Amino acid sequence: MKVSAKAEYACLAMLALARRGVESPPVPIREISGAYGIPERYLVQILLQLKGAGLVASTRGASGGYQLARAAMSISLGEILTAIDGPDESPREGASSKRPSTPVLASVWESVRQAEKAVLDRTMIGELAARTAPHDWTI
């Protein structure tokens, strides 16, 4: 599986927003950019794509920024990757498809692709944010 740098940055930005929660004030782009080393201009493009996909909402002004458009537990990694890189392409038919072993291999590649998609679709950004957030333990 190949994940583009843009898609990875999008996931990092969504994690930053998920740690804050839907009810928190908007997070400024500069804060996300600084925390993850993402160039601000590039992050703006990424966040605009995520906004177009309905995953984030923006607020203008001095106290503006971005926040999740819905609960983090309802946003999957699959949705984020699709918003940034588009839908996953089906394996292409190669010139060697006339060889007898090609269909056997093609079925394996398709099974791998489906397993990958299943993992991405069931992994919620809220779960990942909870794994990375510091816990307040009282003993």
What is the pLDDT averaged over residues 70-89? 92
Amino acid at 103: P
Average pLDDT of span 109-136: 89
DSSP tag of 91: P
- Selected from 3.20.20.100, 3.40.1170.60, 1.10.3720.10, 1.10.10.10, the CATH number assigned to the domain covering 5-132 reads 1.10.10.10
pLDDT tens figures, 16-45: 999 987 788 999 999 999 999 999 999 999
pLDDT tens-digit readout, 46-71: 999 999 999 999 999 888 899 999 99
**Which pLDDT score, from 0 to 100, does residue 95 have?**
47
pLDDT reported for residue 134: 67
* Amino acid residing at 108: V
**Segment 88-117, tens digit of pLDDT:** 765 555 545 567 678 889 899 999 999 999
Name the token pair of 41: 């201009």
In this structure, the chain runs to a length of: 139
DSSP secondary structure code for residue 55 in this structure: S
Sign of CA dihedral 34, 37, 43, 44: positive
Would you list the domain boundaries of the chain? Answer: 5-132
Q: What is the structure's pLDDT at 55?
A: 97
